[in-house]
Structure 1
């Protein structure tokens, strides 16, 4: 590594190895004993930090579990109360002697008044900001007390709303800079909480600290990369300071106050960071150490990835493109929309974030969209995305409402943006910053103007406030904060509402004609935009997930109804199920078929998007995960169980895909190659009946060029006039020198298939591997064993086909089911 320094002298500091870590220290206050109480009462209870008022009330048996039965209704009183958290801690003589003691708070939710030893030091009003307070003068040697008075966010929001002479869409939540989904969504409960949901600590320091460390990738070639680094140093004492940058050292004279220093790295033969499916997500580690006279004053470490990213929007004959280039290569984005994994975000561990990202990678995804109605995710989430090659479309936390535009609110948002961009900008996974979710569409398409009876003057004020927020305040704050010149900003997703034809010709699209519009799944094949950033269909969760909140499996059970937040969700599922499947009468089979229904609809959508490449260059379905046990659009339920949908996603997101569709009365087989190398292999097409008799076949050697789509072959509809389409399946297989790709296509809907009872045989190859076969077509084979994840599931098993399945752990017994088993009831 070669390092260039401007106006900086370079020295070899042999004594660097003898540095002592004595000039800066951290006291994690979460390790102290915390207590909470209702502000109206005197009785104190033990609290956990990080935590929320709901989780602390639950731990002390003061409320029932909001996730169980219909208990959500029983805890609504909590949001209207004020709560006090407090702790005592001790300060040693040595700690008190530090010249600077900062109280650092990450995740104060939301309206908090902070007291140190009985003196008010500050107030907070934003869950998404990092709050730092100088508290040296308030502390003393020995015993100290911190108390945090949390005011009701709901009451504060209502109070702010009363200041306006008109009503803004979104009710009281829009005035509070906290997680919007806590107020209830069509997949989540209303649990408006408060508390210390992240870190609270004391930072002791003398002389100087590193406030910020940034970089700008100036150039990236195959032979070298040039990076400009910038650091903000806060100095209490003017003087000469030593810096160690990995294995190199330099000296800098600093003045009192904020100092900005910069230097340049040159990395020879750099290893680039690639998203999943294109290469390895290589990371480089860097560390900056600040010291003086042998004492280390501060340290900062970053892991970065070297990559270029572009959002290409070029006019064409139809509209304009919308696609990402990674390291100069156009990439079709395959992924999902991510929401907070819990209604109580403080109890989401690093391992849960890692599991979510790994399960996205296992399903062949390369992008996740962090949706704007939740929270900015934990550091561990972005770290996992960096390490697994998952790009992040990052919304700012605004969704489905109009927001106030007064100066104090806008300033609060600006500081929020600065904090979050500073925290996240070094992650190579960050692909795009998006201003909001569906607000532009909501204003122009959802009828708010008529609903709220706005005057023209009020409409102008509200829209001007919107433009100021998302076209001035946020993008300007990003520009002022971010160092990396590759940063991409997109004001609102989608750019045009799904009801307008232009939404399919340019920008990103949220298509909800299916589900909200009750249109058939097949409409997905016609409604394909340039980048499909939202669409979806509901499916019920695993049976074990439902029994986790109720033991009564009946549609009359209020708990089952409560854990479906869409007002006509179950009715919509049933309506679509009647179109495509025989509707089972018993609950267990209904749950199973609802998952098949969801998977079938989403397969039609995803593969239509992929066949349309390069016109369409991205598909992000709604939604990846859940925040509680619920029937929703997710492909993985609250406990991380893969629905049939997630297994189908894994198949439909393969880098090399075979996809069959009907076009102009002919059946077309597409070969879709998202990899950067040409694929060659033997293609075998067979029309077989459900007993395995080959009725027609064709073989050919084919080539699919890198990063291209290709129509492999076209089958004339006349071929099918000679067979009973209700009893046959088209089997398409491609075998290359590295892989075997398969696809099965049916000519009628599942309810019209003339299925026979299959004899499914499972043989154990070893403790975690099984072989499964059948004598006749087994449609949608479902394997289940409590607590075990099957590598493949909800798959079609052709007659006499051998399928090898790997299991996450050894098992005693396996329950097996196929679609035929649902026909008897």
Structure 2
């Protein structure tokens, strides 16, 4: 069977440029007026923005994240709200066509201009264009966007769906959320999740503008990639000597809104590649799609876009110019990226099933990264600085991939621009998560519009490498999460196929034939480390640092048993699970002072989380080259989750605000390009050399035995140099633990531990790793370290990386502010 390959050649990312003289764009971003349903509240509101943000900015509410305010402010989402603004119409009415463009309305609204209804919205993820020329006045024009309560709307939609239930009806009680979110096309986690609060947002969350034009207006610029390999005769040699070469074609897609039928010319050029083509075009009234093939000059050496750690991320400029009788009617430019992507699913010798891995520019790439959730409950608070800090932190931890999770939002353009720039591959879910969904005609129609718009918007980004239909919905159906009677299962299976196969997949394959589309199967058994082909979700919870919790709490909250600690935990039994796991290997904090015990407990949950995720990630990385009992060949590890939406316990490695947890520091090591992985099998220590590099290496393992009571090594062992092929995991050290310790004086499992690293003839390659021979709580000779800590300012607001040995970094040597003292203390 041939590999299932999806090849992406060229990608164009639209950049803003001045509009031609025949168009006029009026931005309506800025100050609007916001009123509630009975007009008891009237206040200024910023657009883009949300109702909650406006109320906080004007002093009507406190920080929604403070203590229990997510419950206290529930009334906001149960009311209806109206945004109002006035704008001049004199320069707009002279144009042949005038459009009101709303890039993002959250969510269900009626749009009125001068008292006349010009349109309605029901989908947070769609752009809406309404023709308004006939309702414009020369003077001031009043625009109103009247928003319905998403909670009440969802309930009404569910009640109207009386034939059968569409589960889940409501979130678990521990989440303190709202019901029936699957009936409204908005951020699913805004009604609550097991790591986030319930803030069913409302507002104009993306820009609003008026576009007026006489001839045409460019709506979208993207590309359909073409990448071909050809055989050519070698110059100066016999004609029977052939060499494979690559030819690139930029397939440019323009979506234009045309007023009158006209003809003109389109010129497309890539100056850096000495490529320019001019085409004659016919413009037909209405929304028209134009497609052009631009063959790249074969004498040019095209530079390829690579994921982080595998190369650079170069781009070229694509200039687009349209003219009619010498008059410019269209002018823009974009970034052009060259790269290919293939999802390879083919038989593996000695293993059932198919492979599952990505080839980028022909090279197999192990995906290393995490899962992305919304960075804030209120999207207008996700600034460029917030995005860049979080994404740069991912790259700084040697990640090359993130999965945009299907219960949040399709991220803003800047998110994907930064991923393009940093070489972060994106696994893009469609926004459906952990639920069944209705399939009425109006629901399917708005979903179809959503999918078309989002695929066209995002297809130009080289970072996006795969589309996924949903998050865990197939698993929910297959394993009966919602206790659906057997007699009713065919109805839900039919709905699933209708939504994801007949509609979403069909649209994606029509709009973008360059990437694979998956119906995500869901989670694996959490009780074991399965030898999977690709691990896209796994993890363990921890609490954030006290410094992150302090601004949203008061002193009475600083106890692990407090109402606040219980309120912030949205995963059933989560607080107890963290302590139970930590107690297996560490002595739990026992200070008699509740606040000190609280800060120490926060810290020990981070220690345990880091060790858990480290162990599982290293298992996946060393499994990339092995097939054991028919399983293995793992080529991806994306742990759950990268970031937080608020200050609370979760599976994240970055706290809300961007501070690194211990897990993120560990990730910097366990995602290193060259990594030693050690583990025990039947009382035998094995050390694997894992390499993501293209070139082969000659490496040895260096194993050092330390006593818990002394920082000086007890002994050191070295293996012979062995070949480690590029892109492989190879065992290079194997020795029974008893024999290893016998040569190290008085060392036993309880008194000693191991560190190990890899080196070649030039020195150490990759980080130093560690292996505990017993649970740290059982270690003998471990003494309380005498450590002095100081805060060191770095380039970003992240904690300074410790230079202590890794076993000490995870056993009590991190500074954390004490709630009871003004000076730093060692925790």
TM-score per shorter chain, which class? 0.7 to 0.9
Alignment of 1:533 onto 2:556:
no
User: Is the CA contact 1:206–1:236 (under 8 Å) kept in the aligned structure 2?
Assistant: yes
Query: Given the superposition, is the C-alpha separation of residues 815 and 673 from structure 1 closer, same or farther in structure 2, using an over 3 Å criterion?
Result: farther
1:511 corresponds in structure 2 to 524
Q: Distance in 1 between matches of 2:355 and 2:277?
A: 47
1:543 corresponds in structure 2 to 546
Q: Secondary structure at the match of 2:163?
A: coil
2:296 corresponds in structure 1 to 266
Q: Secondary structure at the match of 2:92?
A: helix
Deviation at 1:53, TM superposition (A): 1.0
Query: Given the superposition, is the C-alpha separation of residues 20 and 668 from structure 1 closer, same or farther in structure 2, using an over 3 Å criterion?
Result: closer
Q: Distance in 2 between matches of 1:627 and 1:259?
A: 39
Deviation at 1:761, TM superposition (A): 6.7
Deviation at 1:759, TM superposition (A): 4.1
Deviation at 1:680, TM superposition (A): 3.0
1:500 corresponds in structure 2 to none
- The aligned runs of 1:429-440 (5 Å cut-off) are 429-440=463-474
User: Is the CA contact 1:512–1:535 (under 8 Å) kept in the aligned structure 2?
Assistant: no
Deviation at 1:414, TM superposition (A): 0.8
- The aligned runs of 1:412-811 (5 Å cut-off) are 412-450=446-484, 454=485, 456=487, 458-482=488-512, 485-494=513-522, 510-511=523-524, 513=526, 519=527, 523-524=528-529, 527-552=530-555, 553-585=558-590, 586-614=597-625, 615-681=633-699, 683-690=701-708, 691=710, 692-698=712-718, 700-720=720-740, 722=742, 723-736=747-760, 737=762, 740-741=765-766, 742-754=768-780, 755-760=782-787, 789-792=799-802, 796=806
2:436 corresponds in structure 1 to 402
Query: Given the superposition, is the C-alpha separation of residues 205 and 763 from structure 1 closer, same or farther in structure 2, using an over 3 Å criterion?
Result: closer
Residues 549-600 of structure 1, C-alpha deviation per residue, up to 9 Å, x if partnerless?
1132123432222222112110111111111111013111111111000000
- The aligned runs of 1:52-71 (5 Å cut-off) are 52-71=50-69
1:128 corresponds in structure 2 to 125
Q: Secondary structure at the match of 2:536?
A: strand
User: Is the CA contact 2:227–2:246 (under 8 Å) kept in the aligned structure 1?
Assistant: no
1:310 corresponds in structure 2 to 342
Q: Secondary structure at the match of 2:410?
A: coil
Deviation at 1:687, TM superposition (A): 1.8
Within the candidate set 256, 275, 298, 2:284 is matched to 256
Q: Distance in 2 between matches of 1:470 and 1:704?
A: 43
Q: When the two structures are superposed, what TM-score results if normalisation uses the length of structure 1?
A: 0.85
Q: Distance in 2 between matches of 1:190 and 1:134?
A: 35
2:628 corresponds in structure 1 to none
User: Is the CA contact 2:695–2:726 (under 8 Å) kept in the aligned structure 1?
Assistant: yes
Residues 450-488 of structure 1, C-alpha deviation per residue, up to 9 Å, x if partnerless?
4xxx461x3222210111111110011112222xx3221
Once the two structures are overlaid, the 10-residue window that deviates more, 617-626 or 20-29, is 20-29
Deviation at 1:231, TM superposition (A): 2.4
RMSD: 2.6
Deviation at 1:223, TM superposition (A): 5.3
1:176 corresponds in structure 2 to 184
Query: Given the superposition, is the C-alpha separation of residues 512 and 188 from structure 1 closer, same or farther in structure 2, using an over 3 Å criterion?
Result: farther
Query: Given the superposition, is the C-alpha separation of residues 787 and 256 from structure 1 closer, same or farther in structure 2, using an over 3 Å criterion?
Result: closer
Deviation at 1:684, TM superposition (A): 2.5
Q: Distance in 2 between matches of 1:259 and 1:728?
A: 69
User: Is the CA contact 2:691–2:724 (under 8 Å) kept in the aligned structure 1?
Assistant: yes
Q: Distance in 2 between matches of 1:244 and 1:264?
A: 10
Q: Secondary structure at the match of 2:672?
A: coil
Query: Given the superposition, is the C-alpha separation of residues 180 and 259 from structure 1 closer, same or farther in structure 2, using an over 3 Å criterion?
Result: closer
Greater relative contact order (Cα 8 A, min sep 6): structure 1 or 2? 2
Query: Given the superposition, is the C-alpha separation of residues 793 and 628 from structure 1 closer, same or farther in structure 2, using an over 3 Å criterion?
Result: farther
Deviation at 1:635, TM superposition (A): 0.4
Q: Secondary structure at the match of 2:784?
A: coil
Deviation at 1:61, TM superposition (A): 2.2
Q: Distance in 1 between matches of 2:797 and 2:729?
A: 39
Deviation at 1:412, TM superposition (A): 1.2
Q: Distance in 1 between matches of 2:398 and 2:561?
A: 39
Query: Given the superposition, is the C-alpha separation of residues 147 and 794 from structure 1 closer, same or farther in structure 2, using an over 3 Å criterion?
Result: farther
Within the candidate set 328, 336, 353, 2:362 is matched to 328
Query: Given the superposition, is the C-alpha separation of residues 795 and 597 from structure 1 closer, same or farther in structure 2, using an over 3 Å criterion?
Result: farther
Within the candidate set 159, 165, 168, 1:167 is matched to 165
Query: Given the superposition, is the C-alpha separation of residues 792 and 369 from structure 1 closer, same or farther in structure 2, using an over 3 Å criterion?
Result: farther
Once the two structures are overlaid, the 10-residue window that deviates more, 212-221 or 356-365, is 212-221
User: Is the CA contact 2:249–2:293 (under 8 Å) kept in the aligned structure 1?
Assistant: no
Query: Given the superposition, is the C-alpha separation of residues 795 and 87 from structure 1 closer, same or farther in structure 2, using an over 3 Å criterion?
Result: farther
1:506 corresponds in structure 2 to none
Q: Distance in 1 between matches of 2:26 and 2:156?
A: 37
Gaps of 5+ in 1: 1-18, 495-509, 514-518, 770-784, 806-812
User: Is the CA contact 1:79–1:192 (under 8 Å) kept in the aligned structure 2?
Assistant: yes
Deviation at 1:311, TM superposition (A): 1.1
Deviation at 1:529, TM superposition (A): 1.1
- The aligned runs of 1:93-172 (5 Å cut-off) are 93-163=90-160, 164-171=162-169, 172=180
Deviation at 1:78, TM superposition (A): 1.4
Residues 55-104 of structure 1, C-alpha deviation per residue, up to 9 Å, x if partnerless?
1122222233220011111111111111111011123x333211111111
Q: Distance in 2 between matches of 1:749 and 1:293?
A: 80
Q: Distance in 2 between matches of 1:671 and 1:465?
A: 47
Within the candidate set 213, 220, 227, 2:250 is matched to 227
Deviation at 1:264, TM superposition (A): 1.7
Once the two structures are overlaid, the 10-residue window that deviates more, 739-748 or 317-326, is 739-748
Q: Secondary structure at the match of 1:756?
A: coil
User: Is the CA contact 1:28–1:200 (under 8 Å) kept in the aligned structure 2?
Assistant: yes
Deviation at 1:114, TM superposition (A): 0.2
User: Is the CA contact 1:688–1:696 (under 8 Å) kept in the aligned structure 2?
Assistant: no
Residues 132-157 of structure 1, C-alpha deviation per residue, up to 9 Å, x if partnerless?
11111111222111001001111111
Gaps of 5+ in 2: 1-17, 170-179, 230-244, 591-596, 626-632, 815-821
Query: Given the superposition, is the C-alpha separation of residues 444 and 681 from structure 1 closer, same or farther in structure 2, using an over 3 Å criterion?
Result: closer
Once the two structures are overlaid, the 10-residue window that deviates more, 314-323 or 437-446, is 314-323
User: Is the CA contact 1:209–1:290 (under 8 Å) kept in the aligned structure 2?
Assistant: no
Query: Given the superposition, is the C-alpha separation of residues 463 and 788 from structure 1 closer, same or farther in structure 2, using an over 3 Å criterion?
Result: closer
Residues 294-335 of structure 1, C-alpha deviation per residue, up to 9 Å, x if partnerless?
544333433232111111112332322111111111111111
2:219 corresponds in structure 1 to 211
- The aligned runs of 1:82-93 (5 Å cut-off) are 82-91=80-89, 93=90
Q: Distance in 1 between matches of 2:453 and 2:573?
A: 40
User: Is the CA contact 2:545–2:599 (under 8 Å) kept in the aligned structure 1?
Assistant: no
1:808 corresponds in structure 2 to none
